[in-house]
Chains A and B, each alone.
Chain A
């Protein structure tokens, strides 16, 4: 619990640069409306269709056009006003100081409050299987986000192939468990170690690459792993995947309906929810382990070296820091957590196939890290909740789900360009830990 609090010290700085007046807002809205008019004039304003004899018939829909343009005009005023209120850059804070203070107070207790709430989720939603499943999914992505955060957020190395380590972890557990019958608790560290090994293997060839080049090679690495799994039929079963993966046990006690099961041993009535709750606490424990280790590492020399590497690699070399091993350890640490998450995924699903490890997963996890604010633990957790939970929340919108979701992403990035929690907390201090503004923190060169 204390681990989470360190990230939440939020200082809202009031930036007074220029006050955008009403004429500015109106001008901006007018320009937006003009663009909308040009764009939609033909697309919405005029409707064409083939007539009964094959000739072209057309009619106008200027009413619809006017409402769309009006919507854009009004919308851009609203967005501009919101941006001035909430936006961190270039705008005066219109929010009164008292509200800001309570916000920062809220920020400080947000982490612990979230943790307490998360611990109570199985108690509150015991009878709602859907919410428990969703919570497990969110926590899996929180863990993946925290793992990738080490590579992208701390060391500043852009990794687009993170799903590869997730896949390595999942297949490591699935194959070890189905072929040798090893238990989850033996396979878990092995899966992590194997993934870390692959992290180092990826790390070596890409050490000299930066930025876009690094991103492309890591992307290719992710695809290579997936394609190998897909084509190595003898070992992995190819597109058929691996099924019948053993469920985790509570230190040897299975959570099933048998006489040796936990329910029978405790003398309570068996319910399938027991296993779900167990899985929930398992992934929560794994995620918190990731969080704890990351926070510890940040305060150790290796963590500081990662962040220094993100800030300035040349300066690191001049200070005698071995940038090669520093990068490799970042890749290995991130990959290890990815491997743990993968092993959990395999045991939870009971069945895995290469389809679960596409590039889309890498992109989603990276989006969580970027959206959360690179390097911020609480930010990543909030982003995972927003991305995965939000995605489910919009399920009712059906076809418009992706549209609304995409717009929400864009809006968040407009208001908070450096992520939900953009500032950086120092790892060591003499008198007072002050949050460092995101303007100063570098994103890394890859």
Chain B
């Protein structure tokens, strides 16, 4: 295993017409750790995500993904589905994007599309029902079942995803992303709209993914209780720029971060902090 970070973003810039959404952003996400990207609304976090996962083509800069075997992939050159297929970067969405008319199990089976496609001989062998495909399908169902158990949705495997409770849908989306067997999991506000109990179980799930499977996680999150509890490393953005980074403790005490969140000057924020302490 190489000591390089799993993901290194170097001077990433994204412009939409005259608007600079992300400017010269550089950060890295360490292997098998949880890196959080935080910042006030409109800071450009989701834009960074869309650049990393290939939904946007960055205007400038480099995004490098370092696989365990030392292979380096330039993500800014791959587009959409290849990032998930070849680079093994999976993502979830701010507004849940499950397949609502398909069952929870089917959602997880669709996630294993590329593995199953190969096993089915690109449909032709699967059509005649070769045993190798049947074995592959059994393995896929086993993996899906495993994930359904992990997210406590085993009993609802055959229910339509659209019928699940909101919190369950969030967890199912994460499980679906994990079924693509990614090296880097990108989560866009996974705790949005969850209550305290659901947030806690989400934190538990993410920590188990990090510790048991060693998958690196990059997440955008507004819920600071989740961010501070599970993150190893935090990058703070505001107005398209990186304003701070470090451990949760370092970031929490950074006056620039507080200023950005309160919408106040740095001096004022310092004054607030001093008066508190």
Q: Which residues of A contact B (CB under 8 A)?
A: 293, 296-297, 300-302, 304-305, 307-308, 311-312, 314-323, 329, 424, 426-434, 436-437, 440-442
Residues from chain A with a CB closer than 8 A to the CB of B117 are 301-302
Residues from chain B with a CB closer than 8 A to the CB of A329 are 123
- When chains A and B are docked, how far (Å) is the Cα of A203 from the Cα of B177? 29
Of B85, B102, B113, most A-chain CB atoms within 10 Å: B102
Residues from chain B with a CB closer than 8 A to the CB of A440 are 100-101, 160, 162-163
**Contact status B80-A304, CB under 8 Å:** no
A-B contact sample (8 more), CB < 8 A, given A318-B177, A320-B180: A300-B123, A301-B117, A314-B93, A426-B158, A430-B158, A440-B101, A440-B160, A440-B163
**Contact status B99-A321, CB under 8 Å:** no
Question: How many Å from the CB of A437 to the closest CB on chain B?
Answer: 7
Interface size on B, residues (CB 8 A): 43
Residues from chain A with a CB closer than 8 A to the CB of B205 are none
Question: How many Å from the CB of B135 to the closest CB on chain A?
Answer: 14
- 19 A-B pairs within 8 Å (CB atoms) are namely A300-B116, A300-B120, A300-B126, A301-B110, A305-B110, A308-B99, A308-B102, A315-B93, A318-B97, A319-B180, A320-B180, A321-B113, A322-B85, A424-B101, A430-B105, A431-B158, A436-B101, A437-B160, A442-B101
Q: For the complex, is B41 an interface residue (Cβ under 8 Å from A)?
A: no
Residues from chain A with a CB closer than 8 A to the CB of B81 are 316-317, 319-323
**Contact status B113-A307, CB under 8 Å:** no
Of B90, B110, B112, B116, most A-chain CB atoms within 10 Å: B110
**Contact status B157-A318, CB under 8 Å:** no
**Contact status B158-A320, CB under 8 Å:** no
For the complex of A and B, 10 pairs with smallest distance between CB atoms = A320-B84, A441-B101, A320-B85, A311-B99, A440-B162, A301-B116, A315-B97, A317-B80, A308-B110, A436-B160
Q: For the complex, is B141 an interface residue (Cβ under 8 Å from A)?
A: yes
- When chains A and B are docked, how far (Å) is the Cα of A312 from the Cα of B117? 19
In chain B between 99 and 153, which residues have their CB closer than 8 angstroms to a CB of chain A? 99-103, 105-106, 109-114, 116-117, 120, 123, 126-127, 141, 145
Q: For the complex, is B241 an interface residue (Cβ under 8 Å from A)?
A: no
**Contact status B101-A296, CB under 8 Å:** no
**Contact status A429-B99, CB under 8 Å:** no
Residues from chain B with a CB closer than 8 A to the CB of A428 are 103, 105-106, 109, 141
Q: For the complex, is B91 an interface residue (Cβ under 8 Å from A)?
A: yes
Known: A322-B85, A440-B100. A426 touches B90 (CB 8 A): no
Question: How many Å from the CB of B51 to the closest CB on chain A?
Answer: 14
- When chains A and B are docked, how far (Å) is the Cα of A61 from the Cα of B123? 68
- When chains A and B are docked, how far (Å) is the Cα of A320 from the Cα of B110? 10
**Contact status B90-A429, CB under 8 Å:** no
Contact of B120 among A301, A320, A321, A427 (CB under 8 A): A301
- When chains A and B are docked, how far (Å) is the Cα of A442 from the Cα of B102? 10
- When chains A and B are docked, how far (Å) is the Cα of A320 from the Cα of B163? 25
Question: How many Å from the CB of A294 to the closest CB on chain B?
Answer: 11
Known: A301-B117, A429-B158. A307 touches B85 (CB 8 A): no
Known: A302-B123, A320-B85. A312 touches B91 (CB 8 A): no
Q: For the complex, is B35 an interface residue (Cβ under 8 Å from A)?
A: no
Of B81, B82, B163, most A-chain CB atoms within 10 Å: B81
Q: For the complex, is B53 an interface residue (Cβ under 8 Å from A)?
A: yes
> Which of chain B's residues has its CB closest to A308's CB?
B110
**Contact status B145-A430, CB under 8 Å:** yes
**Contact status B160-A320, CB under 8 Å:** no
In chain B between 171 and 215, which residues have their CB closer than 8 angstroms to a CB of chain A? 176-177, 180
- When chains A and B are docked, how far (Å) is the Cα of A429 from the Cα of B105? 7
Question: How many Å from the CB of A427 to the closest CB on chain B?
Answer: 6
- When chains A and B are docked, how far (Å) is the Cα of A437 from the Cα of B162? 10
**Contact status A318-B113, CB under 8 Å:** no
- When chains A and B are docked, how far (Å) is the Cα of A323 from the Cα of B110? 13
> Which of chain A's residues has its CB closest to B126's CB?
A300
- When chains A and B are docked, how far (Å) is the Cα of A300 from the Cα of B159? 20
In chain B between 56 and 100, which residues have their CB closer than 8 angstroms to a CB of chain A? 80-85, 90-91, 93, 97-100
Residues from chain B with a CB closer than 8 A to the CB of A442 are 100-101
Residues from chain A with a CB closer than 8 A to the CB of B158 are 426, 429-434
Question: How many Å from the CB of B27 to the closest CB on chain A?
Answer: 22
Known: A300-B127, A304-B110, A436-B103. A318 touches B160 (CB 8 A): no
Residues from chain A with a CB closer than 8 A to the CB of B105 are 426, 428-430
**Contact status B102-A297, CB under 8 Å:** no
Of B83, B93, B112, B158, most A-chain CB atoms within 10 Å: B158
> Which of chain A's residues has its CB closest to B87's CB?
A320
**Contact status B97-A312, CB under 8 Å:** yes
- When chains A and B are docked, how far (Å) is the Cα of A297 from the Cα of B126? 9
- When chains A and B are docked, how far (Å) is the Cα of A432 from the Cα of B159? 10
> Which of chain A's residues has its CB closest to B163's CB?
A440
